[in-house]
Amino acid sequence: MSAAVELFDLHADGTPPADPLVLAREWLPGDDEPERPQVTLGTVGTDGWPDARTVLLTAFDETGFAFHTSAASRKVAELAALPRASMVVLWPGSTRQLVLRGDVVPDAEESVAAAWASRSDHLRQLAWCNTDELASLPRAERQQRWAAWAAANPAPGQAGSWVGYRLQPRELTFWAGGYDAASRRLQYTRAGGGWRWQHLAG
């Protein structure tokens, strides 16, 4: 994840941006940057228990924070049952975190296609080949099938199972550690057509 120049210091005095996406854009890489952030996506399992996994944050704007996956994945079934999720962005080795909570909606077709086009060959092959059936085979056979598929499909089109979603946050919490003071959170919560913010203990 590339470093961004911070225009607002969470420890500084003064009024933060009225729109949390202004601050999010300072922290997150632009959508055109090929190195995508890895984020933890939390959902509620169909059994009622919390569930989480790491996904790539493909893009974000006023319509939400986008991620893409296989339609056969467990998270898709969980989101169909309860279309709400959380997302945690962690800057390893740094003292920053961003936590999102909100509703999840299907991503637009053009955004799904753009996400596919931006994926590496390896990730595209995963979308086609990463099945429970393949996972159950001995290692040598998995390797043989993987290599055979790659040789037969040098430029695969978009997998039919490739789907996308956008988390539309109702809450964004920016966390910053501190060396000369306690860590601090800046939490934004939707309030009507705008946002309400407050500082909280870290």
If one counts the domains in the chain, the total is: 1
**Higher pLDDT among residues 188 and 92, named by residue:** 188
Q: Percentage of the chain surpassing pLDDT 70?
A: 97
Task: Note whether residue 9 is domain-resident.
Answer: no
Residue 120: phi and psi, rounded to 5, are -70, 165
6: pLDDT confidence band, cut at 50, 70 and 90? Answer: low
Q: What is the mean pLDDT of residues 114-124?
A: 90
Domain for residue 111, yes or no? yes
- Looking up tokens 């470093």 gives 3
Domain containing residue 34? 20-119+160-201
Q: Is residue 170 domain-resident? A: yes
Question: What's the pLDDT score for residue 7?
Answer: 67
pLDDT in tens, 142-168: 999 999 999 999 888 999 899 999 999
Confidence at residue 1, expressed as pLDDT on a 0 to 100 scale:
44
Asked whether residue 98 is domain-assigned, the answer is yes
Q: Is residue 130 part of a domain?
A: no
Report CA-CA distances (Å) from 117 to 6, 58, 124, 155, 180.
30, 11, 9, 11, 45
Q: Which residue(s) pair with 174 in the sheet? A: 98, 186
Assigned domain for 82 exists: yes
State the average pLDDT over residues 22-31: 92
Q: Report d(CA 141, CA 193) in Å as an integer.
A: 55
Given a cut of 50, is residue 39 above it in pLDDT? yes
Q: For the segment 44-103, what is each residue's pLDDT rounded down to a tens digit?
A: 999 999 999 999 999 999 999 999 999 999 999 999 999 999 999 998 777 899 999 999
Residue 4 pLDDT level (bands cut at 50, 70, 90) = very low
CATH number assigned to the domain comprising residue 59: 2.30.110.10
Is 124 within a domain?
no
Q: Give the C-alpha separation, 187 to 118, whole Å.
A: 32
Query: What whole-number distance in Å separates Cα of residue 96 and Cα of residue 94?
Result: 6
Q: Is residue 12 part of a domain?
A: no
So what's the pLDDT on residue 178? 78
